[in-house]
Amino acid sequence: SSLLFSSLLFSSLLFSSILFYLHHEYRDQQEPVKLTCGDLSDTDVTWKLNGKDIEDSFEDYLERDGTTLTVTEFDDPLLGEYSCWSGGRNISSTYLLMEAEKNSQTDPVKCRAKSYDCNFTCTWTLDGYTAVRLRLDCEDATSCQWVGDSTPTPDGTFHFELSHSLSPYAEESTMLVVTAEAIADFFILRTTKRFYLRGIIQPDSPQIVKCEEMPQALNVTIDPPATWSTPHSFFTLEHEIEYISKDNGEHGFSSSTLVPKRISRVRGRSRDSLVDSNWSVWSPWKNVTC
């Protein structure tokens, strides 16, 4: 594992704040890390590790020179937040974290786009992480914006909304690249996910509007979900209808808008007809009144 040296020049004491501020750079474990106390150069300062005054037992691994602190060796007791204090004020905070090894069999990032509009969503699904951030990589890495989340849902997942600049009318030639960083204890996991936008398309559920009685069948009217791209004549959807027979309660399916008569309920789902996208979730069951 390598040591992640993350310098944060701000006064927040939240450990998860490492994910939402300045700069990351990697250093070899054997190379000393020099920590500075903001812009102070000739002031008496106090250094703390994880909120506590640095213990004398760490002196063999730390070197002080004025307002500068150099960490010469790294192990669990020496990982975490190094904060520099002067006059009772936190001048700067620096985090030393170990890079966690990624399980090649696990993909912790799942992404979905409801349409070809400029936004899509991603979730972080691995348990045990206290803060996560994602970004969509861009040509100028310094201008790529991180999107952070330090509050998981009750099931332990983190949710993100990202924006892209792809034209919805042009054929995709370049994959989107999402980079994720997540913290657990004093370890940070970094992973990258690559995909085409068309590969994560999954529309919302369609709307069953009405049914009309025809001589031999019922004609079901289905509207695309409100979140689907427009114009609908260009962004076409195919639908599948599930229905329940009044006579025997059996379920049937139709890939057209025509379904048999004498059915009690119908529901539908949709997908992009041109790229064979994932099916949407089924719409709620609708009682048939015609």
> Is 4 domain-assigned?
no
b/e map 208-237, b = 16+ CB within 10 Å:
beebeeeeebbebebbbbeebbeeeeebeb
> Is 1 domain-assigned?
no
Q: How many folded domains does the chain comprise?
A: 3
R_g over Cα of the chain:
27
239: containing domain: 207-287
**Res 221: pLDDT:** 95
**pLDDT single digits (tens) 171-225:** 899 899 999 988 888 888 889 999 999 999 999 999 999 999 999 999 999 999 9
161 pLDDT above the threshold of 70: yes
pLDDT confidence tier of residue 58, bands split at 50, 70 and 90: confident
pLDDT confidence tier of residue 12, bands split at 50, 70 and 90: very low
Instruction: Give the end of a domain, one of 175, 199, 223.
Output: 199
Give me the CATH number covering residue 125.
2.60.40.10
Percent of the chain with pLDDT over 90: 46
pLDDT confidence tier of residue 31, bands split at 50, 70 and 90: confident
Percent of the chain with pLDDT over 70: 88
pLDDT confidence tier of residue 11, bands split at 50, 70 and 90: very low
Instruction: Give the end of a domain, one of 46, 64, 98.
Output: 98
Characterize the bridge pairing of strands 158-163 and 286-287: unpaired
142 pLDDT above the threshold of 50: yes
